[in-house]
Amino acid sequence: MKRWKWLAALLCLATFYAPAQTSGDAESKVRALERLWGEAAQFRDLRALESLFDESLIYVHIDGRLMTKAQVLADTAAVSAVDIVVESSTAHAYGDAVIVVGILRLKGMEGGKPYLRHGRFVDTWRYKDGRWVCVASMTTAMQEGSMTK
Amino acid sequence: MKDVPIAPIPFFFCRRMKTIALGLAILCASAATIPAQETGSGSSVAGKVRELELARLDAQRRKDNRTLDAMLDNALVWVEPNGVQLTKADYLANLRSSEGDILEIAPAPMTVHVFGDIAIVAGIYREKGVKGGRLYLQRVRFIDTWTFKDGKWVCIAAAATSSIS
């Protein structure tokens, strides 16, 4: 009986402190959320975007603007339609955090003129209150010759 | 020395001691699994990460690969201000072999957000150097991600851009 009590106590502790999921699970979940992010941004689904971002999100736009979550949402609502394609991405889990790096292509209209930009993004996701949220995101405009590297 | 007779411990005390022992064992086990940074205040962790970030920028200026090697995780994701992605090995090799010299890296005040085992540092620095015999000056916006791993903070991602709006 005594042994059972100890075992139960240790089991409770182990469960409480166990990581939320395995690295592979975390990486695939976050990559799915990245795809969702692209679609939500493209269709300007602000509700979906809101659920993906942490309240203290730090975001650097491809043009270098530093933005808060509220500013990102307002900007998404204000700009004209953008075609966003994630061309490649890899994810790496560190406990309750996942780093995603990839290349995206942005196609749209600005000032009546079409544009096509490529950016390298690095996103940091964190497992919080039972779900993954993005806490930091930076997209760097890619210059000619930096695509293959 | 005289032998002092030991009085038998009453039964209810025995049970209470066992309960206390069990409680203490759980408490100790909990303390051992609490991430190290949570034992201090959030601001002290932020301060420590800020110091590490400044040390990293200084090591970058001095091309001190040994210091950088210890600060950067082996799976580091590094994005240069022009969008080129490098591994840790590539970054250190590039720094070692680069012909130019970085004369100064002057960081502006940076913000540090701590989320448990993860810290995000965002800021701008001004870099002054000499490349190909010519002086250059660039402003860089960066976001670095640090994690507490194996008892120390290491940088796991560093992204930068020279576009600053």
Provide the domain count of chain A. Answer: 1
Length of chain A measured in residues: 149
Q: Residues A76, A49: contact at Cβ < 8 Å?
A: yes
pLDDT score of B2? 47
Q: Burial, A52: exposed, middle or buried (Cβ in 10 Å; 0-12, 13-18, 19+)?
A: buried
Range of the domain at A54: 2-146
DSSP A55-77: EEEEEE-TTS-EE-HHHHHHHHH
Best probe of the B interface among A53, A58, A94, A147, by most B CBs < 10 A, is A94
Place of tokens 């309750």: A96
% pLDDT > 70, chain A = 82
**CA separation for the pair A46, A40 (Å, rounded):** 7
> Backbone phi, then psi, for B72, in 5-degree steps?
-100, 135
Nearest to A13 among B26, B79, B162 (CB): B26
CA B56 to chain centre: 10
How do residues B16-59 score in pLDDT, each as one tens digit?
A: 666 666 555 554 444 444 443 433 346 799 999 999 999 999 99
B13 — pLDDT class (breaks 50, 70, 90): low
Q: Supply the DSSP symbol for B40.
A: S
- ipTM score for this prediction: 0.81
The shortest C-alpha distance from A63 to chain B (Å) reads: 6
How many contacts (CB atoms, under 8 Å) link A and B? 126
User: What is the reported pTM?
Assistant: 0.79
Chain B residues 85-114 with CB within 8 Å of chain A: 85-86, 111, 113
Are B165 and A97 an interchain contact pair (Cβ–Cβ within 8 Å)? no
Count of positions (residues) in chain B:
165
Q: What is the CATH number of the domain that holds A113?
A: 3.10.450.50
Q: Which residues of A touch B31 (CB under 8 A)?
A: none
Could you report the per-residue pLDDT of A13-30, keeping only the tens digit for each?
544 444 556 888 999 999
Q: Is the pLDDT of residue B83 over 60?
A: yes
Distance CA B140, CA B160 (A): 6
Structure tokens at A121: 């993004």
Query: What local confidence, expressed as pLDDT, does residue B10 receive?
Result: 60
Q: Do A146 and B118 touch (CB under 8 A)?
A: no
Task: Report whether pLDDT(A63) > 80.
Answer: yes
d(CA A68, CA A62): 14
